[in-house]
Amino acid sequence: VDGLDSQAVDAARALAEALAACLEGCSPLDTEASSTFAPFYIPCLGREITSTDLALATKEALAAASGAYKQMVDVQRHDHKNKHTLIPLSPGARDDLDSTSFARIREANALAAAHLSRCVTIDVYPDFVTFPTLYGGLDEHFNFVGVITQRVWT
């Protein structure tokens, strides 16, 4: 793809796969959620998008895209207090999770702390009973890197 740094994209893929491997076999974070964490990444152009980039699109195009996005995708974004934590753990998490899962999440968080910033949780269509959730952040090339899993409201 034109404009993408293939080494940066490969590094994003490898990091996403490493995060998912850390979380393999982890107990669900919600009582009935999936214990599967799949690697997930969105490549960027190697830099943060600026207002100059958006100025290239017409106001009408931006308004149409924004309106379509709001109608099509119901997303709740939760910024993490610690911007380098992939999966925030509550103070009682050690008691709520088995020791292996707790250790795996801490391992994934350590990997994220070394390579990601601006970590967030993104719930897609959270009004549904079962919905996808992304845990991730930005790597040094501004690629969004993380894992996707399934959550359940109980």
CA distances for 69 relative to 47, 52, 107, angstroms: 23, 21, 34
First vs last C-alpha separation in the chain: 42
What parts of the chain have a pLDDT lower than 50? 1
User: For 128, what's the count of Cα atoms within 13 Å in the CB-facing half-sphere?
Assistant: 13
* Structure confidence at residue 59 (pLDDT): 67
Encode 49-110 in three state secondary structure: CCHHHHHCCCHHHHHHHHHHHHHHCCEEEEECCCCCCCCCCCCCHHHHCCHHHHHHHHHHHH
Q: What is the pLDDT of residue 1?
A: 45
From the list 36, 37, 25, the residue with the least C-alpha distance to 112 is 37
Q: In what order do the strands lie in the sheet with 130-138?
A: 38-42, 144-152, 130-138, 117-124, 75-79
